Amino acid sequence: MDLDSLDTLLPRLRPASLPALRNFAIPYSTKTRRGRLSELLKDTSFRHLVDQVNALFIDSRLIESSALNNFQPLFHKTLVSVDRDDHTFCCRLSPRLQHARIRSFDHFVLFARIIYRHEINPIDLPLRSLYFDAGDRHKTIPVTQRGMVRKYTVNELFPGVDIVYEERGEDRPFESIVSEEFVVRQSRRNAGEESK
């Protein structure tokens, strides 16, 4: 379901109506109008719904600057699907992003280069996990430092970040942004928090 489709369902999408809802995915649609996520995050019903879930999946193109402040409390439980290589994404989201699904390794290479070009220490980022397609497991990232090109693995460039490689569905946009591994990790994390 895209963001604009939520308008018709929003009155029924309440925690009381869906008490067992634990995972929620919002894929990108070219029909989604600009600023829609920002509007929805101000809606009490929608906000209660996303507050209740363990795992939220969203395409990075939906998180516009106008939505960042309202979205901030959700980053800890959101896997953001990234499939583009623009500087705006790096500047806006990288200081906040905690979990990212990288849909194109080539775009990730550009993302990594931008981080190093701007001398951002990956350790200073709140990034906790990166999800890649299983086919990307042995790829390396060429980075130029002090005039020399060196090839790094993802683990070398992002120490301390959980790197997950998994098969993912490409048949439907909904399935391509959802990660079973992320659902499991978030369920465990939430179970640990509730037992405290």
Predicted confidence (pLDDT) at residue 74 exceeds the cutoff of 70: yes
* The pair of three-digit structure tokens given for residue 189, joined into one six-digit string: 């994390």
Predicted confidence (pLDDT) at residue 81 exceeds the cutoff of 90: no
**93-109 residue pLDDT tens:** 777 889 988 877 877 88
Mean pLDDT on 13-32: 80
SS (HEC) of the chain: CCHHHHHHHHHHCCCCCCCCCCEEEECCCCCCCCCHHHHHHCCHHHHHHHHHCCEEEEEHHHCCHHHHHHHHHHHHHEEEEECCCCHHHHHHHCCCCCEEEECCHHHHHHHHHHHHHCCCCHHHCCCCEEEEEHHHCCCCEEEEECCEEEEECHHHHCCCCEEEEECCCCCCHHHHHCCHHHHHHHHHHHHHHHCC
Identify which of 7, 12, 10, 11 has the alpha carbon closest to the alpha carbon of residue 29.
7
More confident residue, 164 or 31: 164
Number of domains the chain contains: 1
Residue 117, amino acid: R
**158-188 residue pLDDT tens:** 888 899 998 866 555 555 778 999 999 999 9
State which residues form the domain around 120.
3-194
* The pair of three-digit structure tokens given for residue 93, joined into one six-digit string: 């989201």
CB 125 within 8 A of CB 100: no
**33-69 residue pLDDT tens:** 777 788 888 888 888 888 899 999 988 888 877 788 8
Percent of the chain with pLDDT strictly greater than 90? 14
Beta bridge pairs of residue 130: 100, 163
Q: In this predicted structure, what is the pLDDT of residue 190? A: 84
Beta bridge pairs of residue 147: none
Predicted confidence (pLDDT) at residue 5 exceeds the cutoff of 60: yes
Q: In this predicted structure, what is the pLDDT of residue 23? A: 92
**125-168 residue pLDDT tens:** 788 999 988 888 888 887 766 677 778 788 888 888 899 998 86
**Tokens 């790096």, located at residue:** 90
Binned at pLDDT 50, 70 and 90, residue 124 comes out as confident
